[in-house]
Structure 1
């Protein structure tokens, strides 16, 4: 027994050593961006660390008694950052980490707008309008005869985010707009869910308004259970196509659901996709061949408890193929976009490949849905969830979502920019002490970004619609001088699908017929 005690003491002593360690924020710093290096993770088992010596990798050195230092790099590249700590016994420990500084720096916020009524207002979507402004759609809490209700809410702004009008549409139960867009007649079409009307606990809800947001008609679609529309598009015949999930129809508890209507909202056909378990749709797009691409998560197919699920249909909603992506754990796709090379980009959250509770996952496919690559983007906190993705004019991707910690109400809007291969170029967060989240991101006509989501008012009024405008820091393209204004840049992809031009030093995508998107 005596020898066992001696052995235990010896092992404990050998395991207690001075250790140098550091972290840095932001995790993906840009050139000329301030980086904070933090040595708080360093450990001295015999007392306090007395000295920190930093070699910042670009010829800069800092010797200090403080745990944190700040620094910025003039140029992009890889830098070997070294830290040597001196312990209370005058012993030393060192560590070196490679820091990658991309060419791009994060954009800066130039304005921020909030729109609230009585509390718990949530913006689910953002779209361009023909006058250069924006239309936001979501839900709003309001009261009728002291009873609380939730209605669909529309907010129309000008190009600078100033509100021009707002409308609340709904009945006496829970009604929510999940997506709104401008229609060919100058009005708006809204898709969402309604508990006030229809046959079930929730039904697909299609609402048509005029140019001022005044309701012209509304239609419901569904059965006796919950059926929720995520998005809507106007089709070439003047009708509408909605996508969402259904509990009332299909093979399983939850299935993907497509509903096609004529211009007056009368159903023409509907299609379900799924297996015998839960398959939930969150995003869809029209494709250049006239069909549709759908994404969400599946528990009926794939290898994990939940996988990304991508489904391609023709223009009549007939399935052409489907693909699953994911690991052994939980993965859910929230957004899909057609890419300029004819393929698709998906983003969602992953636990299978996460270093945290959840992280962002990007999956790039070719035109047949075959995976080309995937990337996990590790967030600054434990819980990281993307909601929207778009392809940038330069071929990279911009993802909007949130980052925070499970079990808390503290979340920030998180934006990430990658290159065309999915490697992070910059990331940035915005928010306060409450629950702030980005749900939709668009390219502005001037080359900036416009982001919509929710902002916590940090009061008993809950959250407000939040609209933010960001402008980038122009940088020279790889391998040459900056493009002159109006100079075209050849882009890969579908012939005649569009081009990229430089406008005021920023790259802007120009679509068919010269329409700037």
Structure 2
């Protein structure tokens, strides 16, 4: 009897321990306008998220942010890429990726005051610091929208380029596909297009010798054609197919791969099923190896809707996120495109909500990034739903986390430090600062200079157990000095 009671109690505790956590939180950076782009789930259950942050007060710059957010929803780290009189844009949803070496990469665009632009490749270390970023330009305007790592650890990115074509004696807009090595050096660069305006949105490696890309041809404002291309490993076209305007007359140029080595295509489609339907509803379709539709699911309804990202889960179901104005929108389909469920969400009474990207979490729920409009304007929106797409009624309090990087911040953690010691600095100005560590006798044991926001991992193998003082120096003034205890673990 006691054994049965113990087993029941154990099962109850186990179920409680595995309860699905949900929350709804917004983040505001310096009262700017924030738009969530991409999100990754990290091994420690934290979230890594890229964000566009527009300076609404001055209107003269936009930064690209990288947030690391703890499962408790606190900000662990913030990296800022930006400068005055320039606008930094992240790529499309899904354009933040994990690399084979446990670092991270993303792509985007830098727009200058004269409206010229460069594509950007950014590499982050495993903590979130920028290792380097590289600019690319082949014409007046270059932009990079999506990214993938190849089997040989190269990076392939897709977007568009605008340049002067001397043969046609006109400015040409083409789909841009390029590959760089792990250090950002260009290996090759290809353009695809004709007299129309062309741009690329998705790229995937489907084998060691094949790339699968999606582009959009724009012949006129209301004359858009989806263009799917399969290339070899150096960007030469092997197979291609256009979905002409008799069936697809709007923005349907986003793709991902399926578990059975086929493809998903999504966007919007020109069709009216019911008399009160919106004329260009969102759709998801599955393509076979020959780029023919296997099935197509159309989300017809009376309101404007759009899908921003699609992922197939390990159980073969398909989850999508986007917006169904004025709500954020998430849904789940069977592997054959049949609806399982769909949900709309609104943060407080916000008139403008959308979900941009998501990942499935350890408890089979979903962590989602997007944007919502609130008291401080447009803010980064982070939502955790359960496995059925539900935000529990007893969820964590909604609220806005205010981040002010106009004032320098400096902290050391963990304290005591047993295996690792991190020093985090944020000033929001990309200035050079100095890290100094002294022991209890006042002897300097570590000094190094850094530029901009940074998390420094201090090697403990050079330090003995004891008390140390960690200090940050900016413009000749101490930012903060704090004692840290080093208490390294000793292997038995």
Report the TM-score, using the length of structure 2 for normalisation: 0.61
Residue 260 of structure 1: CA displacement?
A: 0.8
Residue 234 of structure 1: CA displacement?
A: 0.9
Gaps of 5+ in 2: 1-19, 26-69, 406-427, 430-451, 456-492
Q: Distance in 2 between matches of 1:391 and 1:224?
A: 42
Equivalent position to 1:210, from 181, 204, 226: 181
Provide, for residues 243-289 of structure 1, a one-character-per-residue CA deviation record: whole Å limited to 9, x for no partner: 2322259xx71133211100110011112236446321353211111
Gaps of 5+ in 1: 1-28, 35-103, 352-357, 435-456, 459-465, 470-517
Q: Distance in 2 between matches of 1:423 and 1:225?
A: 44
Provide, for residues 7-64 of structure 1, a one-character-per-residue CA deviation record: whole Å limited to 9, x for no partner: xxxxxxxxxxxxxxxxxxxxxx979999xxxxxxxxxxxxxxxxxxxxxxxxxxxxxx
Equivalent position to 1:107, from 42, 53, 73: 73
Provide, for residues 474-501 of structure 1, a one-character-per-residue CA deviation record: whole Å limited to 9, x for no partner: xxxxxxxxxxxxxxxxxxxxxxxxxxxx
For the 8 Å contact 2:372–2:381, the answer to whether it is kept is: yes
**CA 1:33–1:337 in structure 2 vs 1: closer, same or farther (change >3 Å)?**
closer
Q: Distance in 2 between matches of 1:280 and 1:348?
A: 14
For the 8 Å contact 2:129–2:453, the answer to whether it is kept is: no
1:167 equivalent to 2:141? Answer no
Aligned to 1:507: none
Aligned to 2:366: 397
**CA 1:253–1:430 in structure 2 vs 1: closer, same or farther (change >3 Å)?**
farther
Equivalent position to 1:320, from 276, 294, 298: 294
* Larger relative strand fraction: 2
Aligned to 2:379: 412
Equivalent position to 1:266, from 218, 236, 243: 236
Aligned to 1:234: 205
Aligned to 1:91: none
For the 8 Å contact 2:210–2:230, the answer to whether it is kept is: yes
Q: Distance in 1 between matches of 2:21 and 2:257?
A: 35
Q: Distance in 1 between matches of 2:399 and 2:254?
A: 24
**CA 1:314–1:394 in structure 2 vs 1: closer, same or farther (change >3 Å)?**
same
1:137 equivalent to 2:107? Answer yes
Provide, for residues 293-316 of structure 1, a one-character-per-residue CA deviation record: whole Å limited to 9, x for no partner: 111122345542332210101123
Q: Distance in 1 between matches of 2:236 and 2:376?
A: 42
- 3-state SS in 2 of match to 1:306: coil
Aligned to 1:190: 157
Residue 122 of structure 1: CA displacement?
A: 0.8
**CA 1:201–1:299 in structure 2 vs 1: closer, same or farther (change >3 Å)?**
farther
Larger radius of gyration: 1
Superposition map of 1:326-475 within 5 A: 326-351=300-325, 358-380=326-348, 381-404=350-373, 410-424=377-391
Q: Distance in 1 between matches of 2:201 and 2:192?
A: 13
Aligned to 1:245: 216
Residue 105 of structure 1: CA displacement?
A: 7.5
For the 8 Å contact 1:411–1:431, the answer to whether it is kept is: no
**RMSD, aligned α-carbons:** 3.5
Provide, for residues 60-118 of structure 1, a one-character-per-residue CA deviation record: whole Å limited to 9, x for no partner: xxxxxxxxxxxxxxxxxxxxxxxxxxxxxxxxxxxxxxxxxxxx975322001011245
**CA 1:468–1:424 in structure 2 vs 1: closer, same or farther (change >3 Å)?**
farther
For the 8 Å contact 2:23–2:384, the answer to whether it is kept is: no
- 3-state SS in 2 of match to 1:284: strand
**CA 1:430–1:216 in structure 2 vs 1: closer, same or farther (change >3 Å)?**
farther
- 3-state SS in 2 of match to 1:342: coil
Residue 430 of structure 1: CA displacement?
A: 5.4
For the 8 Å contact 1:243–1:259, the answer to whether it is kept is: yes
For the 8 Å contact 2:88–2:111, the answer to whether it is kept is: yes
Aligned to 2:123: 156
For the 8 Å contact 1:126–1:136, the answer to whether it is kept is: yes
Q: Distance in 2 between matches of 1:211 and 1:395?
A: 33
- 3-state SS in 2 of match to 1:196: strand
1:295 equivalent to 2:262? Answer no
Q: Distance in 2 between matches of 1:31 and 1:367?
A: 26
- 3-state SS in 2 of match to 1:280: coil
For the 8 Å contact 1:306–1:329, the answer to whether it is kept is: no
- Alignment length (residue pairs): 331
